[in-house]
Amino acid sequence: PEAFLFTNRHGAKLTRFGVRYLLKKYVAAGTPVANTMREKRLHPHSLRHATAVHLLKAGVDFATISQWLGHATLNTTMVYARVDLDIKRQALAQVFPDVLASPRAGHLSPAAVDVVDWLKRL
């Protein structure tokens, strides 16, 4: 119970400043390999946000994610659901499975359905 999961080079707990330092260091190291990294603005909160979105996509419920991230309310966690288009599509597909089929690889929406017209009819 006294041991830290993530430590700095002195064996003390890794602080947010340490996370920022490591992220900056590895982004700089990865830029020559992945040139698009140069255009990104990554910070520690990016890791937190990406983790929450991936947990949602994996089917983890909002209450669990909220507790894990230390949010005071579920409303804070709901921000992550508003961001992701795939989650919105999945929710609509559960309610209207015959209308919204799963998208084909490489396509945002099925060719047979005009999503905008369909949403206007709701």
Task: Give the residue, 116 or 68, on which the prediction is more confident.
Answer: 68
- Using an 8 Å Cβ cutoff, are 13 and 4 in contact? yes
AA letter at 19: V
Report how far apart, in Å, the C-alpha atoms of 2 and of each of 5, 13, 16 are: 10, 11, 19
Mean pLDDT for the stretch of residues 14-23: 91
Q: What is the pLDDT of residues 40-91, one digit of tens each?
A: 888 888 888 888 888 888 888 888 988 988 888 888 888 777 766 677 777 7
State residue 107's pLDDT score.
55
Rounded distance, CA 19 to CA 3, Å?
A: 18
**Which one, of 70, 68, 107, lies nearest residue 85 by Cα?**
107
Three-state SS at 13: strand
Q: How many residues does the chain have?
A: 122
Three-state SS at 109: coil
Rounded distance, CA 5 to CA 18, Å?
A: 14
State residue 59's pLDDT score.
84
State residue 58's pLDDT score.
87
Query: What confidence category does residue 111 fall into, taking pLDDT thresholds of 50, 70 and 90?
Result: low
Residue with tokens 């992220």: 23
State residue 115's pLDDT score.
67
What percent of the chain stands above pLDDT 90?
Answer: 16
Average pLDDT, the chain: 80
